[in-house]
Structure 1
Amino acid sequence: MSLDPIVDPRTLVARQERANLVLVDARSGKDSRERFEAGHLEGARHVDLDRGLSAHVSNPAHGGRHPLPDPQMFARVLAWLGVSSQKRIVIYDDKGGANAAARLWWMLRATGHPRVQVIDGGYDAAVAAGIPVVRGPSEHSDQTTAPIGGWASPLADIDEVARAASDPGRLVLDVRDPSRYRGEADPFDPNPGHIPGAVNAPYASNLDVDGRFLSRDELAARYRALIGNRDPSDVIVSCGSGVTACHTLLAMEHAGLPGAKLYVGSFSEWARSGRPVAKGDQRG
């Protein structure tokens, strides 16, 4: 049975509540392993966005800065974490679920795991709720690798994105910060701006001032206003490199609007493709 994709950390305070799940620390960055060893939620295992949840980047023009890994490589990561179809998986990061936690949630759902959740408010909220913090290296599982057939959740490639962005019956959401969408500056990608026709819907607006997700009703109202009469399957979600887009896919599922597609390459691929780039607030 599928769970709500967001879990309140207060429900995980009791040790027995964490004993029957796989708890994953997905805080990212070059020092993520050191930060994990300096302090992590009791029972958590560590995974790194660049080394565990993305393929090696040979050319961002083909797949973006965080392309999906080969499914069998990801299967080895899951075996190392101790993930199996019988386990409940709970993930946290320190970006309100916006970084690797949402990406791992999407990847697990895309490989058939229904019992996956992201901690609302992330690491800080979990610590404030009273989940113990411990030091030391990540433990790992020695379970065998279960094969993964591929990515079952809907994906869109660059050609489909181009068609959808010019089709009134479809919608491309760009969830980056408005200044990056407008093309004022971009610290990561060349040719700042956005995909012509894409609508800006910053992922940060999924959260309240305390870094917690808005309620289901608030998120549903927000996304219904954006997508109008379209079905969620007619929506493609894009960001910089296919990571924070998963935060919006998570929020939409929490709001009862599952089925939108992920554009993994996102603007990091588009900006290097030679395709036109739009600037400013206007759609187009």
Structure 2
Amino acid sequence: MKPLIEATALKQLDPYSFTLIDARGFGNSRERYEQGHIEGALYVDLEDLASHTDNAAVGGRHPLPDVDRFANLLGKLGITPDTHVIVYDDKVAANPAARFWWMLRSVGHEKVQVLNGGLQVAQDAGLNITTDISAPSEATQYQVKHGFSGTAEIEEVKAAAKDSSRMVIDVRETPRYLGQTEPLDLIAGHIPGAVNVPYNTNMGEGNRYLSPEQLKANYGKVFGDVKPEQVIVHCGSGVTACHTLLALEQAGLTGAKLYVGSWSEWSRRDLPIATENGIIAPENK
């Protein structure tokens, strides 16, 4: 099952054959959901997809929740391991939709897709938009076989950034990577050795992902001789990076890992930081 589904294909599905998730994320997203969402969609907030933390230096701003807590959320949504889940947001999957997709895949859930182009494309395709709040099907107990897989911890990232056979990709906007600005974290810059491939380069016309062929060609140039399974992807807090992990999966380039702590963790650990002007290197780091 490809990770992306088109609005035209979604429109043709039996509405009882899948569970639709509106994952618009944070801020006033619940209010936006209540003002209009795709008919049948259940709401999931970014706060449901991360654990609460007072110390972003350990796990970043959006660390993964306990896997049992995530399983409990899935059960409340009526999702079973056999459920076909389709998820969307209003940020072309750059926020919680891709994170939710990645988390499900990480615990072994196979049948999950993201709506290509999100809410706007759904509206353009004529899917029903409603203010009616849907109730999930009967709650169930979702059995997870293992914890979140496909993650990289900070020590592995340190080693990978220095290894020519591996690659660390920073998907943030280039000014943040270069250290010119930092709107969310304490210090601007990037992990020394990381390459910058902004997540929005995954997008083509109409706020849809590029074709699998184009994505494969683009990332083939970035990877060179590095194998996909030797790639680690990060962003600011481990959410937007999932957009690129989805793009890689769509391109058939499987096996890349997510550095969940991302820049929000690295920049708080007194580690070397690179900018366009060079490297700030604390002693003995």
**Letter paired with 1:20:** S
Asked if 1:5 corresponds to 2:24, the answer is no
Q: Aligned with 2:232: secondary structure? A: strand
Q: Can you list the C-alpha shifts for 1:108-158, whole angstroms capped at 9, x where unaligned?
A: 001111111000000000111111011033523442222324335311001
1:22-41 deviation line (CA, Å, top 9, x unaligned): 00000012211111111110
**1:282 Cα deviation after fit:** 8.0
Distance 1:249 1:27, change over 3 A: same
Contact 1:232 1:259 in 2 (8 A): yes
Secondary structure at 1:27 match in 2:
strand
Letter in 1 for 2:27: K
Q: Secondary structure at the match of 1:114?
A: coil
1:178 aligns with 2:174: yes
Residue deviations 1:179-207, cap 9 Å, x none?
11011111100110000000000000000
How far has the Cα of 1:80 moved from its partner? 1.5
Equivalenced residue count is 280
Partners of 2:167 and 2:144 in 1: CA distance: 30
> Structure 1 vs Structure 2: percent identity of aligned residues?
48
Gaps of 5+ in 1: none
In the alignment, what sits opposite 2:267? 271
Aligned 8 A contact 2:76 2:136 in 1: yes
1:44 matched to 2:52? The reply is no
Partner-residue secondary structure (3-state), 2:215: helix
Indicate conservation of the 8 Å contact 1:179/1:185, yes or no.
yes
3-state SS of 2:164 partner: coil
Report 1:187-266 matches (<5 A).
Answer: 187-266=183-262
3-state SS of paired residue (1:47): strand
TM-score computed with the length of structure 1 as normaliser: 0.95
1:31 maps to which of 19, 28, 32: 28
Structure 2 partner of 1:81? 77
Give the partner amino acid of 1:227: F
Query: What is the distance in 1 between the residues matched to 2:65 and 2:214?
Result: 34
Query: Secondary structure of 1:194's partner?
Result: coil
**Counterpart code for 2:69:** M
Structure 1 match to 2:116:
120
Letter in 2 for 1:7: I
Secondary structure in 1 matching 2:127: coil
The range that moved more, 170-179 or 223-232, is 223-232
What stretches of structure 2 of length at least 5 have no aligned partner? 281-285
Q: Structure 2: how far apart are the matches of 1:104 and 1:42?
A: 19
How far apart, in 2, do the equivalents of 1:76 and 1:223 lie?
A: 36
What is the CA-CA distance between 1:211 and the residue it aligns to? 1.0
Give the superposed CA RMSD.
1.6
